[in-house]
Amino acid sequence: MVQPKHGCFHPATLSPLCQDNVKMYDSVFKWQKMSALTGIHRHQSVGAKRTRPPKPGVLSLCTFIKFLDMWHAKLASLMDKTYEKKFPVSSLTISRFVDNISSREEIDQAEYYLYNFFLFCIVRFRHSPNCWYLRDWTIHSWFRQCLKYGARDRALYTLKNKVQFGMFPDEFTFNILIDSYLKDEDYKGASSVVEEVMLQEAFDLPTTQILSVFALSKYLTTKPDLSWQEERNMGAALLLAGLKQENSVGLSTQLLGYALIGKVEINRGIHAVFHNLPLMWTTGYLSKGLVVMERVCNDAGDMKICKEILDYMQEMLQDLMSILASETAEEKAAENQAVTIDEDDELERARLPEYMTRFKELNEQLHAQGKVETRSLDTLVSILAEEKLRTCEELDMTHYEKKVQAWEAERIQLIQREEMMKRKAEQEHLAMKPSRAVQ
């Protein structure tokens, strides 16, 4: 990938925090080689200067470690006392605490004040008057630090509980997390991150769309045994990511998403579909899937739908019809009590034969018009990643450079404001001394 032209943005002209962000970007998105099939990037680690306390002379290793421990303990103590005295917790204090993590050993050996204490402070910070000012660069830095020092499980835990911690990553940070799992071929972990992208509705960047669909398609090739909640979440992620892609991959993922969500709707009702998810609360997800098939039939271009997804939908419709037909009145009554099934849900179930008939008609049309893609979704997504991902990431690089500059400008303003408030507090303290002496 083309290296960013720093110019006035050269690392030497920036603060240590900003330097580290620039180097981290080069590290994560620096292309060395692109694999022919997957298009997953490989990167070269680049050392980064941390915002560390100055090394006091020449120290032995043990003495220096003790010095660092003392430094982190003081940071933790400062945060604790700040909150106990009911002072508002500064976003700069949170930022400094995160940026001074320097190794996985520090996380492991000092878990209280480098992980648990940090998360605890974040929770309390979330409920303080300054909760709205948790900086984007701090959120980004926290996830980057977790990945850098082998604490990816902590990153995922924070992400899964982002409402409690106030940690809402941007798409660039999401991409780094997804990519880290893909490099290790941990497709389940990557899909877990994509699920959080879906919940945050953060599919605006083409890079995020491609990486997300890639992760989901790879995970599906492992044929996981999914619960109905996992099927619903998988379907929602496929649907929302697919809606952003105007190609065969996008349409195929849309159809698969509608099929997975429609299956949950038929079995458990529409309330189970949209609860805690960014989905429409209107019934008829299977019908929406048929609309996708109609669109491809009427399209004059070269868009197609994957055969494996058509086969899956046909088998799913047949299974649903068999299950509902074999249920007795008593079983239906018991099921309706166990889950929320209302009149609209019953009407949707009654339309299953109609959906099956319409599906067969559209499936025949697609085959007759040559609009059925014999290659798997996984293969199509891999080809898309190989063709598009490099260009998309170059655009991301340009956007990220501007974002880092904005972060640096904001950080400088905050430091200046902090210094001004310190001077004002010192002046007020000195002004009160004479009156105290008189008393």
- Write down the pLDDT at residue 127: 54
Q: Is the pLDDT of residue 435 over 90?
A: no
Q: How many other CB atoms are found less than 10 A from the CB of residue 383? A: 15
Tell me the average pLDDT across 189-200: 96
pLDDT at 109 over 50: no
Question: For residue 133, is pLDDT > 80?
Answer: no
Report DSSP letters for 256-317, one per residue: HHHHHHHHHHHHH-HHHHHTTSS---SS-HHHHHHHHHHHHHH-SSS--EEHHHHHHHHHHH
Alpha carbon of 379 to those of 182, 183, 249, 250, 308: distances in Å? 16, 18, 10, 13, 12
CA 343 vs. chain centroid, Å, equals 36
Q: Which residue has the higher pLDDT, 12 or 159?
A: 159
pLDDT at 172 over 50: yes
Residue 157, CB-side half-sphere exposure with 13 Å CA sphere: 8
Specify the pLDDT at position 426: 83
Residue 390 burial by Cβ neighbours in a 10 Å radius (0-12, 13-18, 19+): middle
pLDDT, tens digit, 9 for 90 and up, residues 267-276: 999 999 988 8
pLDDT at 309: 97
pLDDT (mean) for 348-361: 95
Q: How far apart are CA 347 and CA 340, in angstroms?
A: 14
**Is 120 within 8 Å of 142 (Cβ atoms)?**
no
What are the C-alpha distances in Å from 422 to residues 71, 75, 136? 21, 18, 24
Answer yes or no: is pLDDT of 410 > 80: yes
> Quick one: average pLDDT of 99-119?
55
- Judge whether residue 123 has pLDDT over 60: no
Of 143-152, 212-221, 424-433, the one with minimum mean pLDDT is 424-433
pLDDT at 283 over 50: yes
* Sign of torsion over alpha carbons 280, 256, 182, 391: negative
pLDDT at position 121? 57
Across the chain, what does the average pLDDT equal? 78
Q: Which of 82-96, 120-134, 244-258, 387-401 has the lowest mean pLDDT?
A: 120-134
Q: In the chain, what percentage of residues exceed pLDDT 70?
A: 69
Read off the pLDDT of residues 31-73 as tens digits, 9 standing for 90 and up. 223 332 233 333 333 333 344 444 444 445 455 445 555 655 6
Residue 28's contacts (CB-CB under 8 Å, 6 or more residues apart) are 43, 176, 179
**Of the candidates 272, 289, 434, which has an alpha carbon nearest to the alpha carbon of residue 362?**
289
pTM of the shown model: 0.76
Mean pLDDT over 223-241 rounds to 95
- 372 bridge partner residues: 305
Of 7-11, 161-165, 205-209, highest mean pLDDT: 205-209
**Higher pLDDT pick, 102 / 172:** 172
Q: What is the pLDDT of residue 414?
A: 87
What is the greatest pairwise CA distance in the chain? 99
Amino acid 314: pLDDT: 96
* Cβ atoms of residues 219 and 228 within 8 Å: no
pLDDT at 200 > cutoff 70: yes
Choice among 61-65, 284-288, 305-309, 344-348 with the minimum mean pLDDT: 61-65
Is the pLDDT at 99 greater than 70, yes or no? yes
Average pLDDT (394-413) is 91
Can you tell me the mean pLDDT for 219-238? Answer: 95
Tell me the per-residue pLDDT of 1-11, one tens digit each, with 9 for 90 and over. Answer: 333 333 332 33
For residue 245, pLDDT beyond 80: yes
pLDDT over 90, % of the chain: 48
